[in-house]
Structure 1
């Protein structure tokens, strides 16, 4: 049981690395067609970007099915992917984007750093020049602010950028 738990925890950690890489190189690359909806204002309950969650859920389901059919440790890897998906739903969709009725805005600590880092990610409305691609890990926000200032061009101002979920303007300091 200990080994299975370690596999699950390692998978959750590995998923953050994989998700950050996929976010940067797929979603902000050749997969921008789906992901663009996440960076544009809309009033719909679902967005084309949600198809990524469907793809990852399908992979987790297949792994769990194969694992319970005898291909150990695939069920624990699938369970780790599912746990990561739940954390993503709570933190990214709930806390950051307010896609469910929980309206908490963190004022300090890790959750504030995560919240501000993702707000700074959304200050860039195009697939290029993005920053902070992780979902559960965020670099220090002062480093992200500095990087955003460095990447800005006169035509792309973070001071004018607003979050699509009506939580106020975002400036280069993430406020």
Structure 2
């Protein structure tokens, strides 16, 4: 029973993180912390690292806090929550930083239905260089309209 609950919490956390990514991106990154996110849209920096990477560090600390709490207390729920956040972060990094923005030159030839939809959605998000007027703030599960072929 406990393993099924562990898996349910892990998958629920992973899924909830898509909402958190959307919310954080729309209201925090394109809101009061635009100062950290704007270099990602404008590429007005000459470093491989971006101030935007601070958001990755924030969620890494949250994830590790749950895992460390679970390791040092009876709060076993921290394990699936922490690993769910970590797994979402890894998936986000793989899709956003490696696949879409090619921070590492990998998966360049991926051209399936999902890859095309993700690219199209992200391209529409980056269409605007400012913090206003952007669309499609999620990452792994953008609206279905981006998956329809033109």
Q: What TM-score, normalized by structure 1, do the two folds share?
A: 0.77
Deviation at 1:136, TM superposition (A): 0.5
Shift, 1:5, TM fit:
1.1
Distance 2:9 2:39 in 1: 34
Aligned to 1:127: 131
- Aligned partners of 1:135 and 1:103: how far apart in 2? 17
State the partner residue of 1:112: 116
How far residue 44 of structure 1 moved from its aligned partner, in angstroms, is: 1.6
Q: Write the mapping of 1:34-49 to structure 2, written as runs, cut at 5 A.
A: 34-41=36-43, 42-49=45-52
Structure 2: runs of 5 or more not aligned = none
1:141 match: 146
8 Å contact kept, 1:28–1:127: yes
State whether residues 67 and 76 of structure 1, in contact with CA within 8 Å, keep that contact through their aligned partners in structure 2: no
Partner Cα distance (2:69, 2:107) in 1: 38
- Structure number with higher relative contact order (C-alpha < 8 Å, ≥ 6 residues apart): 2
RMSD of aligned Cα (Å): 1.6
Match of 1:61 among 64, 77, 83: 64
Report the Cα offset of residue 43 of structure 1. 3.9
1:20-99 counterparts in 2 under 5 A?
20-41=22-43, 42-69=45-72, 70-99=74-103
